[in-house]
Amino acid sequence: MQILCEGLDLADAVLKVSKAIAAKTTNPVLEGIKLVAEDDTLTLFATDLELSIEKKIRAQVKEEGSCVVPGKFFSEYVKKLTNDKIELTLEQNNGLKIKYLDSEGYIQCFAENEYPDINLTEFKDYFGISKNNLRELINKVIFSVAIDDSRPILRGCLIEVTKDVVKAVTSDGYRLSLTRKALTYSNMETSFIVPDKSLREISKLLDDSDEQVNVYVSSNFLMVDQGDIKIFTRLLEGEFLNYKQIIMASNKDTVITVNKAQLVDSLERASLLSKIGQNNLVKFDIKEDTMLLTSNSEIGNIREKINIVLEGKDLLIAFNARYFLEAFRVIDDEFVKINFQGPTNPCTITPVDGEKEEYLYLILPVRMIN
Amino acid sequence: MQILCEGLDLADAVLKVSKAIAAKTTNPVLEGIKLVAEDDTLTLFATDLELSIEKKIRAQVKEEGSCVVPGKFFSEYVKKLTNDKIELTLEQNNGLKIKYLDSEGYIQCFAENEYPDINLTEFKDYFGISKNNLRELINKVIFSVAIDDSRPILRGCLIEVTKDVVKAVTSDGYRLSLTRKALTYSNMETSFIVPDKSLREISKLLDDSDEQVNVYVSSNFLMVDQGDIKIFTRLLEGEFLNYKQIIMASNKDTVITVNKAQLVDSLERASLLSKIGQNNLVKFDIKEDTMLLTSNSEIGNIREKINIVLEGKDLLIAFNARYFLEAFRVIDDEFVKINFQGPTNPCTITPVDGEKEEYLYLILPVRMIN
């Protein structure tokens, strides 16, 4: 193998595929990046067996061939070689020579026959969505994925695809996040569960644009195809929560409309004190046209008064303030509705314009001893 | 005590003095910030017994008085109260009420009689220097202060003041950094040693300006007076290295002139490999008009060729690349001179224009087995 390419192209490609390099692995070859030179293209590929990323760049191929380079070192090295043309030559003892200007490096490669052959099955079904919508779909729910392994299926995000719409749902058992986005095309109605790490990387690799991207789905795999970069991920097997049943329960006894920014400021201040007590607990006292947020700890207390519009009954209820703050961070609206059903049932945060059904964040309260 | 002040002023003042709050202390009151309301001023003060910071802001004092508030919580709280007027009221049970808009907090204060009375002695001697020059004086040497306590005096920075010039010197035993700056005024010729933590905070609190700042020195203390903010620090006791003797030794056998940016790029690449070997060792092979930098590890090797102008003998010598990179980070010149005296003596980095004597960085080589 011998090729000539632009340093900037190579650095960009290596940066992107290196997100799929296995961080902790008992199989060192998975720390590698596979390079394949063919026609006028250099293809870079990395996988941790769950997430795989493939990126193609233009190259002048003097001799076709392939090798597997140590990923972390190669990525740091080419990051510092962005100004020049780079020549890569595979030498006889499986060492890769990297030449630029008057200087050069030499890296020992992994044995290529040890590199796994990921069986990326044929994809038939796909849907089309704008890059911005796909990124938002992910970012608006990914924060509430479970962080422990007690229910492994909750480490994933449920994606439901219909003809026009895609929904994403996550839950860590204490709260549930749901958002929906329009599709530009779909030839299927299905649902599947994507591991959170894969979704985070997919979101980062989508540039800020309204261009369409195609998402292919098979029984075990999902592939996001952006042309010169393809991202593959295994899907999780199992049953997700029956989220429809959870959110179907009506909660209309107490409905408030509130300015989001104001509530965020007050919650942030109130939770400073509750962080000291390490419970993050903030009480909501809803009465007529005001909501009083209070928090306590041994060093003091904070009382924040907020104007609201109330429909329904007064209510005293307590929450982990962090759950509200994390949901509000991904809500763009100026005003939101919060819907309660007594002090022991979950509340939901929804758009003021209920017709939109654009998002729903459900949060369990903390029980109080009265 | 009862006062009314601007949230923004209070947040800024608390942020500044909180740099002197003790991080790890067996005396909890040192985690406090002392507030004193008098005339039309609120004075904030914090100390860890080594570094002390005092900042004054304008306030409408309704009732004079003082208290010591928990520093970390108070600082996080007022950081989130920058839009409004704030009223602080000390209540009978030594609790401070913080009122803003319709909301309020209440914090339990420390017993004021437990707060230390720092004896800030009278200062006679001082020198004047522009804020930019003082900040640069610190930043250009602080990185090579010793990080372990084997020789406690090397945890400080030697400052030498004459009529027109101030010099700063640091050394961790493997390298030595020296820089000099012009003074605008001085009524003394003296030298003293300032703890590195204090210097770092002094540097951060100096705004980017050519305004003069006065630095007062007594036998045990130094005080940087910026008008509304005063920073006090204890001085270290003991003898610093005899740095003049160390840098007097001539090193002229091999003198090279080199483009700094080019050398930095090459050193960064070469040190990627030496980092894997964990020695950070890079060999310099100086011959005629080129310098070849090489590094090795089990996974490969890198050879970087750089054009130089050489006066004197060829030389093969090895260094910890990090020491060069850290010195170059604070050198603004496009070209520098590096002066060697054989493979076992220290080298020095100096300006190309030797008359300037603006800086000198001395670095010990790593011995090689030949």
Identical fold between B2-114 and B249-363: yes
User: DSSP letter string over A88-109?
Assistant: EEE-TTSEEEEEETTEEEEEEP
Query: Residue B304: which of A70, A103, A276 has the nearest Cβ?
Result: A103
> Which residues 158-217 of B have a C-beta within 8 angstroms of A?
none
Q: How far is A103 from chain B (nearest CA, A)?
A: 5
Contacts of A299 in chain B (CB under 8 A): 70, 73, 107-108
Residues in a beta bridge with B340: B254
B364 touches A at CB < 8 Å = no
Residues in a beta bridge with B254: B312, B340
Radius of gyration over every alpha carbon of chain A, rounded to an integer in angstroms: 25
Q: How far is CA B341 from CA A325, B249, B253, in A?
A: 62, 9, 5
Residue A191 burial (CB count, 10 A): 14
Q: Which residue has the higher pLDDT, B298 or B57?
A: B57
* Topology annotation, domain A125-242: DNA Polymerase III; Chain A, domain 2 (3.10.150)
Confidence of residue B277 (pLDDT cuts 50, 70, 90): low
CB contact under 8 A, B105 and A265: no
A76 touches B at CB < 8 Å = yes
Q: Best interface-test mutation with B: which of A269, A271, A278, A306 has the largest number of B CBs within 10 A?
A: A269
* Topology annotation, domain A2-114: DNA Polymerase III; Chain A, domain 2 (3.10.150)
CB contact under 8 A, B300 and A95: yes
Kindly state the tokens that stand for A20.
């799929």
A303 touches B at CB < 8 Å = yes
- Tokens 């300032």, residue? B194
d(CA B293, CA B316): 10
Kindly state the tokens that stand for B214.
């006065």
Q: Which of A159, A163, A191, A165 is nearest to A177 (CA)?
A: A159
CB contact under 8 A, A73 and B273: yes
CB contact under 8 A, B104 and A276: no
- Terminal Cα-to-Cα distance of chain A (whole angstroms): 74
The per-residue pLDDT for range A77-101, each reduced to its tens digit, is: 999 997 789 999 999 899 999 999 8
Contacts of B301 in chain A (CB under 8 A): 105-106
Contacts of A302 in chain B (CB under 8 A): 77, 103-106
Residue B268 has pLDDT above 70, yes or no: yes
Contacts of B105 in chain A (CB under 8 A): 269, 273, 300-303
d(CA B107, CA B114): 18
Of the listed ranges A26-35, B18-27, B132-141, B274-283, the one predicted with least confidence: B274-283
Confidence of residue A46 (pLDDT cuts 50, 70, 90): very high
Residue A83's pLDDT is what? 76
Provide the percentage of residues in chain A whose pLDDT is more than 70. Answer: 98
Kindly state the tokens that stand for B67.
């208290």
Residues in chain B: 370
Q: Which of A198, A171, A176 is nearest to A20 (CA)?
A: A198
CB contact under 8 A, B104 and A73: no
Single-letter amino acid code for the residue at B133: N
* Topology annotation, domain B125-243: DNA Polymerase III; Chain A, domain 2 (3.10.150)
Query: Residue A269: which of B80, B265, B299 has the nearest Cβ?
Result: B80
B103 touches A at CB < 8 Å = yes
Residue B63 has pLDDT above 70, yes or no: yes
Contact B135, B330 (CB under 8 A): no
Query: Residue B108: which of A265, A300, A304 has the nearest Cβ?
Result: A300
The per-residue pLDDT for range A136-170, each reduced to its tens digit, is: 999 999 999 999 888 999 999 999 999 999 999 99
Contacts of B300 in chain A (CB under 8 A): 73, 95, 105-108
User: What is the three-class DSSP state of A349?
Assistant: strand
Q: Which residue has the higher pLDDT, A171 or A369?
A: A171
Q: Return the residue of B nearest to A102 by Cα.
A: B305
CB contact under 8 A, A80 and B305: no
Q: How far is CA A308 from CA A293, A343, A347, in A?
A: 12, 18, 16
Delimit the domains of chain B by residue range. Answer: 2-114, 125-243, 249-363
Q: How far is CA A127 from CA A39, A213, A297, B348, in A?
A: 30, 8, 51, 64
Contacts of A102 in chain B (CB under 8 A): 305
Q: Return the residue of B nearest to A307 by Cα.
A: B102
Query: Residue A108: which of B102, B299, B304 has the nearest Cβ?
Result: B299
Single-letter amino acid code for the residue at B138: I
Residue A356's pLDDT is what? 67
Confidence of residue A70 (pLDDT cuts 50, 70, 90): very high
CATH of the domain spanning A249-363: 3.10.150.10
Measured N-to-C along each axis, helices B131-139 and B196-205 cross at an angle, to the nearest 10 degrees, of 140
Residue A172's pLDDT is what? 95
> Which residues 273-302 of B have a C-beta within 8 angstroms of A?
273, 276, 298-302
Radius of gyration over every alpha carbon of chain B, rounded to an integer in angstroms: 25
Residue B95's pLDDT is what? 96
Give me the interface pTM, i.e. the ipTM.
Answer: 0.86
